[in-house]
Amino acid sequence: MTTAHALSGAGSSPPPEDDTVIDVRDLRMRYRDQEVLKGVDFTARRGEVLVLLGPNGAGKTTTIEVLEGFRMRSAGDVSVLGADPARGDERWRARLGIVLQSWRDHGKWRVRELLAHLGSYYAPYSTALVRRPWDTDELIAAVGLTGQADKRVGTLSGGQRRRLDVAVGIVGKPETLFLDEPTAGLDPEARNEFHGLVRGLADERTTVLLTTHDLAEAEKLADRILILAGGRIVADGSAEELSRQVSGEATVRWTRDGRPFEQATTEPTRFVRRLFEEHGETIGGLEVRRASLEDTYLTMVRELETGSGPGERAARAFGEEPR
């Protein structure tokens, strides 16, 4: 399996030596007199899972739609799978998978019928290395809809509908998959299954870019997290790197003789050693906690809004007065 995947990674895209699948430089988007994106830069390598975070209205959906070729950008250079999405042809489109925020289409179709039909459009783009489309029943099983395969789409629950959306997104065995808030409306179990599915796709060298508001999900799924705020990418790195970037401090909590204590420190290891040296057996309930992604995210967005962080100029340009 592993060799086959390595081969498919090398054989199915034009420049095998170049592993960069998404390349965005100075992407700008302007609606009338408002500039929504003010120079977005990032790249994604083959098989990477990127999670795009950001407040509502930050331009996450706009960014994704530019990459999908659904929206014309105002300025900047964008390349997805070696082509400019604004000029991507159908052969290029066949290598892309798209899951949007809200679909309510095809209500009269049955689940299996719809997946078989939409999948058939990809058959001319099948190669020896990437067999397209995905086998319908296998795909239905992979997204956990086997019990609903013969149901009409209009009768599915919200969570089942979302699974179907994901299934349609991947039916053509995409090399790059875009998902805009794929887990909104999913229960924790379905969410967990979805995470397994995305990791499986990434293991098969599919590049995944998704947006979410669930920070735990971002932390769990992402190889890299991008935070989009004030029209720019204000942070780019793994959850761990981001938390170090914002704050080197960790919080140490413990109890001594049953009384709780808490201390922030930049050197938790040394601090804990000293704690035990001084108090020994009387210490209990020890807990060392680095800044969570949530802390990091909130700090970054707040810094941006108050105009003291990396996106300071962006925030000012955005029309927000520093407080």
Partner 1 sequence: MSPVWYAVRLGARRGRTELRQTFTSGQDVFGYVLWTILLIVPLFLVRDEQLKGAGISAGAFMLPSMVGMTLAFTGMMTTAQLLATEREDGTLLRAKAVPHGMVGHLVGKVVMVSGTALVSMALPFAVGVFLVDRVARQGGGALLTLVWVVPLGLLATLPMGAVIGSLVDSPRTVGLLMLPVMGLIVISGIYFPLSKLPEWLQIVGQVFPVYWLGLGLRAALLPAGAVAAEIGESWRYLETAGVLGVWAVAGLLLAPSVLRRMARRESGATMAERHRKAMQRVG
CA–CA separation, 167 and 164 (whole Å): 5
Strand order through the sheet with 49-53: 96-99, 176-180, 207-211, 49-53, 224-229, 232-237
184 vs 298, which CB is nearer to partner 1? 184
47 vs 133, which CB is nearer to partner 1? 133
109 vs 271, which CB is nearer to partner 1? 109
CA–CA separation, 22 and 151 (whole Å): 37
- Please give the biggest Cα pair distance in the chain: 72
Whether the CB-CB separation of 67 and 222 falls below 8 Å is answered with no
Identify residue 242 by its one-letter amino acid code.
Answer: L
Among 8, 49, 61, 242, binds partner 1 (CB under 8 A): 61
Among 5, 28, 45, 71, binds partner 1 (CB under 8 A): 71
The binding track of 170-199 with respect to partner 1, each residue x by CB under 8 A or -, is --x-------x-------------------
The reply to whether 74 sits near partner 1 by the rule CB under 8 A is: no
Choices 58-66, 138-146, 286-294, 308-316 (CB under 8 A): range interacting with partner 1: 58-66
61 vs 212, which CB is nearer to partner 1? 61
Residue 3: which region, alpha, beta or left (left: phi > 0; alpha: psi -120 to 50)? alpha
The reply to whether 113 sits near partner 1 by the rule CB under 8 A is: yes
The reply to whether 137 sits near partner 1 by the rule CB under 8 A is: no
Q: Min. distance of Cβ 44 from partner 1 in angstroms?
A: 19
CA–CA separation, 142 and 168 (whole Å): 12
The reply to whether 131 sits near partner 1 by the rule CB under 8 A is: no
Q: Min. distance of Cβ 247 from partner 1 in angstroms?
A: 35
Mention every residue, 6+ apart, whose C-beta is less than 8 A from residue 308: 322
177 vs 242, which CB is nearer to partner 1? 177
Among 8, 62, 207, 211, binds partner 1 (CB under 8 A): 62
How many residues of this chain bind partner 1 (CB under 8 A)? Answer: 35
Of residues 126, 67, 57, the one with CA closest to residue 98: 67
Would you list the DSSP string of 141-209? HHTT-GGGTTSBGGGS-HHHHHHHHHHHHHTT--SEEEEESTTTT--HHHHHHHHHHHHHHHHTT-EEE
Of residues 142, 132, 60, 49, the one with CA closest to residue 93: 132
17 vs 90, which CB is nearer to partner 1? 90
Strand-strand pairing, 176-180 and 207-211:
parallel
Q: Min. distance of Cβ 176 from partner 1 in angstroms?
A: 13
CA–CA separation, 277 and 271 (whole Å): 10
34 vs 101, which CB is nearer to partner 1? 101
83 vs 118, which CB is nearer to partner 1? 118
Among 27, 58, 68, 140, binds partner 1 (CB under 8 A): 68
Among 18, 26, 77, 91, binds partner 1 (CB under 8 A): 91
Contacts with partner 1 by CB under 8 A lie at 61-62, 64-65, 68, 70-71, 90-91, 93-94, 96, 98, 100-109, 113, 117-118, 120-125, 168, 172, 180
